[in-house]
Amino acid sequence: MTLLNDFKAFILRGNVVDLAVAVVIGAAFKSIVDALVADLITPFIAAVGGEPDFSALDITVNGSHILYGHFINQIVSFLIIAAVVFFFIVTPTNHLIARSRKQPPPDPTTRKCPECVSSIPIDARRCAFCTSPLAA
């Protein structure tokens, strides 16, 4: 019974549910990017190169078909997904984390002399400029 409760607690943790949602959304986004590459970008690039579709490019070696055109489509898909993740997820997240981690101001190393208003070391017991004694 304890093992079942531990499993339920594990599944209902926020990061497990968030990860599951991210995987499902990522899979759906991948299909959209694949369609974008196969239907729009690849034909546009192929129009410049003269080949109507990259996925049709292949080499036959000893009866085996090497589909290097399909591989080119997958590389373009990967680059688009990587760019979207970097520019729309990683960069804004890093920016927000940097803003939330504001550094506290450093401890002062000097202070003002109450008599002559000169800048003196914080540990000084006497002002170097007017020689007046200072409180610790």
Task: For residue range 68-119, list pLDDT tens digits in order.
Answer: 888 888 888 888 888 888 888 889 988 988 888 877 777 788 898 988 988 9
Looking at the fold, whether 94 and 66 belong to one and the same domain comes out as yes
* Contact status, residue 57 vs residue 69, Cβ threshold 8 Å: yes
Looking at the fold, whether 87 and 38 belong to one and the same domain comes out as yes
Q: What is the largest CA-CA distance in the chain?
A: 97
Cα–Cα distance for residue pair 55/44, rounded to 1 Å: 13
Looking at the fold, whether 79 and 115 belong to one and the same domain comes out as no
Looking at the fold, whether 95 and 125 belong to one and the same domain comes out as no
Looking at the fold, whether 86 and 127 belong to one and the same domain comes out as no
Looking at the fold, whether 91 and 111 belong to one and the same domain comes out as no
pTM attached to this predicted model? 0.52
Q: In this predicted model, which residue has the larger pLDDT, 41 or 132? A: 132
Q: Can you spell out the DSSP letters for 41-103?
A: IHHHHHHHHT-S-GGG--EEETTEEE-HHHHHHHHHHHHHHHHHHIIIIIHHHHHHHHHHSPP
Looking at the fold, whether 45 and 76 belong to one and the same domain comes out as yes
The CATH number covering residue 48 comes to 1.10.1200.120
Average pLDDT over residues 113-132: 88
Q: How many CB atoms lie within 10 A of CB 72?
A: 17
The DSSP letter of residue 125 is S
Q: What is the dihedral of CA 88, 90, 91, 97, to 10 degrees?
A: 130
Range of the domain at 94: 2-100
The two three-digit tokens of residue 44, written as one number: 């546009």
Report residue 53's pLDDT band, with 50, 70 and 90 as the boundaries.
low
pLDDT one-digit tens code per residue, 59-69:
999 988 888 88
pLDDT at 57: 79
User: In whole angstroms, how large is the CA radius of gyration of the chain?
Assistant: 32
Looking at the fold, whether 29 and 87 belong to one and the same domain comes out as yes
pLDDT one-digit tens code per residue, 7-52:
887 777 767 777 888 889 888 888 888 888 778 877 777 777 766 5
| pLDDT reading at 56 higher than 80 | no
Q: Which helix (H) or strand (E) holds 112?
A: strand 110-112
